[in-house]
Structure 1
Amino acid sequence: MRKVIFLDRDGTINIEKSYLHKWEDFEFEINVIEGLKALKSLGYEFIVVTNQSGIARGYYTEEDLKTLNSEMVKKLNEYDIDILECYYCPHHPEKGLEEYKKSCDCRKPNPGMLLEGIKKYNIDVKNSFMIGDKKSDLEAGKNAGLKSILILTGYGKKVEKEVESEYLIAQDLLDVYKLIK
């Protein structure tokens, strides 16, 4: 069985920018490369799970998102960091284009994307984690049976007080390594 770290994208891997969908606007968060390399040295693999309601809202297309994710994966590969897969939820329960306006199992805090990855990649849930900067990320991990860690990049500082008694907290991905090693 594989040990995997599920990673939120916006605010966790990259600097949070409203409805990011262009590679030229992408910037890695602090200590992402160093943190992922350190976590890889512990035998972890990585899967990205990201809510992308900008698709539902018509701000960008699924193809735009796939292009951005592909560029991110290529850039991480340059540092010898592999991403098993990038899962995304294009839906929103109330807003946007009719085809995407729905409640679904994949939008975090629902665990659909994580459960799909767990099944597909034969993941050892007890030794895997969900890392994100929002309460919905942490709850998705919990709902999938994973340990969740809040990271204080992105929106993390805004939700820290709300979740501090329930979840582990790390400054950034390098600090996550220090927490779990």
Structure 2
Amino acid sequence: MRRVTVCQCVILLERPVASALPVSLMSCAGRPFLAWLLRELQRFGVKEFVFLTEAHSSEIVAAIEGLLVFLPKPAGMLISYTPCGYGTGGALLHARQHLQERFLFCHANVLFSCNLSHFLRSAGQGHWLLLSTVRQADVDVTAADKVSLNSENGKDREIAPGMTGVCLFEASILETLTKNCSLQDDVLPGLARHGDLNGVRLAGTCHQVSDLHDLEKVGRQLPRILHRPAVFLDRDGVINRDFGWVGTRERFEWEPGALDAIARITEAGYHVFIVTNQSGIARGFYSEEDLQQLMVWVIDTIRQHGGTVDDWRYCPMHPEARVEEYCGASEDRKPAPGMIVDLLNRWELDPDRCVLFGDQPSDMQAARAAGIEGMPVGVRSLSDLIVGKDILEIEAFSE
């Protein structure tokens, strides 16, 4: 099965108008608006951001570098300076040396909060638009912006490109670009005319900022929506069968219903985190690299099924390790709460809105020590417990 996670996002910065900074880099509820967007993209696996800008400005460089302070995960940051007079398509063409084979494309001043995994798993080969199911009052949609969209059933639909500010392109998009072309006015309609533009409609909340008034209004909304509750998951015995020290795909077997359960948690608007003791590394059964490669596959498989894992932590330490460098105690090894506390801090979580599902007493002890609720998995699986617990009754992606 093909990998669905896309690790790179190209972000088009709007032109500064009345100040040295674009509006998207100005403060919105305690951080730049763009930091909220990048935080959401990191939830679904984006690791590198390429910023397109016409402005050669030390203020913009400092503001982009300053975004890292507000992000819960490390990220690569590149700036591509667009020559004067280039169109938005030309800006993308000029950045071609930085582009991966598949990349997301976003407008810096539009944030569409949704379960992006649905878009990633639906977007096969070719070029894709992410479309809202409900047209937003604050998006200007004109007849000239509409394109015919090839749907899966072969029927054409007219849509307004850019409503969500999100596209997924293959590197072959570069073959359609010229220095002066506009993505909105030239490239997307041209792709659509040739049947080369596809789209996915998803429910979500859309926020666009064009001025200081928008920043103030959106700033009242984003913390409520994006400071999400969280579900923490132990791995072995909760997500996969616990055969003892599972460090390779050959020994990894999903627990029945686990993929669907994680998809439902994601769809309900929760963060999803994995916290796992991995003493198999300390015992020499597999390496940290083996585990990391396995988890890349695990998390991508979860996204293929409509869920995500926002972040994860593991502890390779054990007091009786065979491998000397991993021998010893650790505040990260459950029942100590270190992994949970680190995620609480990095993602700015409210412990009262968090729950951990685990199959061992050490999981419950770690949850209590971190100040969050613990739910034991055993006779009742993760899927069973989610059905029986009202953790899914929150505002999610309704508009």
1:84 to 298, 302, 310: 310
Q: CA deviation at 1:86?
A: 1.8
Q: How does 1:90-129 map to 2 (within 5 A)?
A: 90-129=316-355
1:176 to 368, 385, 395: 385
* Alignment-mate amino acid for residue 176 of structure 1: L
Cα contact 2:230–2:272 (8 A) shared by 1: yes
Rounded to whole Å, the distance in 2 between the matches of 1:37 and 1:67 is: 22
Q: How does 1:1-181 map to 2 (within 5 A)?
A: 1-152=227-378, 171-181=380-390
CA deviation profile, 1:71-108 (whole Å, cap 9, x unmatched): 10010010121101120000001232111101110000
Cα contact 2:238–2:359 (8 A) shared by 1: yes
Q: Give aligned pairs, total.
A: 164
Higher strand share: 2
* Alignment-mate amino acid for residue 374 of structure 2: S
Rounded to whole Å, the distance in 2 between the matches of 1:9 and 1:23 is: 14
Rounded to whole Å, the distance in 2 between the matches of 1:58 and 1:43 is: 38
Please state whether the residue corresponding to 2:362 is helix, strand or coil: helix
Bigger radius of gyration among the two = 2
Cα contact 1:2–1:121 (8 A) shared by 2: no
Rounded to whole Å, the distance in 2 between the matches of 1:40 and 1:172 is: 17
Q: Which has the higher contact order (CA 8 A, sep 6+)?
A: 1
Q: CA deviation at 1:178?
A: 2.2
Q: CA deviation at 1:132?
A: 0.6
Q: CA deviation at 1:70?
A: 0.8
Rounded to whole Å, the distance in 2 between the matches of 1:112 and 1:32 is: 25
Cα contact 1:2–1:122 (8 A) shared by 2: no
Please state whether the residue corresponding to 1:27 is helix, strand or coil: coil
Rounded to whole Å, the distance in 2 between the matches of 1:42 and 1:77 is: 15
* Alignment-mate amino acid for residue 174 of structure 1: S
Please state whether the residue corresponding to 2:310 is helix, strand or coil: strand
Rounded to whole Å, the distance in 1 between the matches of 2:367 and 2:250 is: 30
Q: CA deviation at 1:44?
A: 1.5
Could you say which residue in structure 2 is the equivalent of 1:167?
none
Q: CA deviation at 1:122?
A: 1.0
Rounded to whole Å, the distance in 2 between the matches of 1:127 and 1:14 is: 25
CA deviation profile, 1:102-160 (whole Å, cap 9, x unmatched): 111000000000000000011121011011100001111111001000011xxxx5xxx
Rounded to whole Å, the distance in 2 between the matches of 1:175 and 1:38 is: 12
Rounded to whole Å, the distance in 2 between the matches of 1:2 and 1:110 is: 24
Cα contact 1:34–1:174 (8 A) shared by 2: yes
Rounded to whole Å, the distance in 2 between the matches of 1:120 and 1:99 is: 26
Q: CA deviation at 1:55?
A: 0.6
Please state whether the residue corresponding to 2:301 is helix, strand or coil: helix
* Alignment-mate amino acid for residue 172 of structure 1: S
Rounded to whole Å, the distance in 1 between the matches of 2:275 and 2:325 is: 21
Rounded to whole Å, the distance in 2 between the matches of 1:175 and 1:65 is: 28
Rounded to whole Å, the distance in 1 between the matches of 2:263 and 2:285 is: 33
Cα contact 2:262–2:302 (8 A) shared by 1: no
Rounded to whole Å, the distance in 2 between the matches of 1:132 and 1:74 is: 22
Q: CA deviation at 1:31?
A: 1.2
Cα contact 2:358–2:377 (8 A) shared by 1: yes
Q: CA deviation at 1:9?
A: 0.5
Could you say which residue in structure 2 is the equivalent of 1:161?
none
Rounded to whole Å, the distance in 1 between the matches of 2:285 and 2:260 is: 32
Cα contact 1:55–1:90 (8 A) shared by 2: yes
Rounded to whole Å, the distance in 2 between the matches of 1:36 and 1:70 is: 16
Q: CA deviation at 1:40?
A: 2.5
Rounded to whole Å, the distance in 2 between the matches of 1:178 and 1:127 is: 18
Cα contact 1:36–1:81 (8 A) shared by 2: yes
- How big is the alpha-carbon RMSD for the aligned residues of Structure 1 and Structure 2? 1.2
Aligned identity (percent) is 34
Gaps in structure 1 of 5+ consecutive residues: 158-170
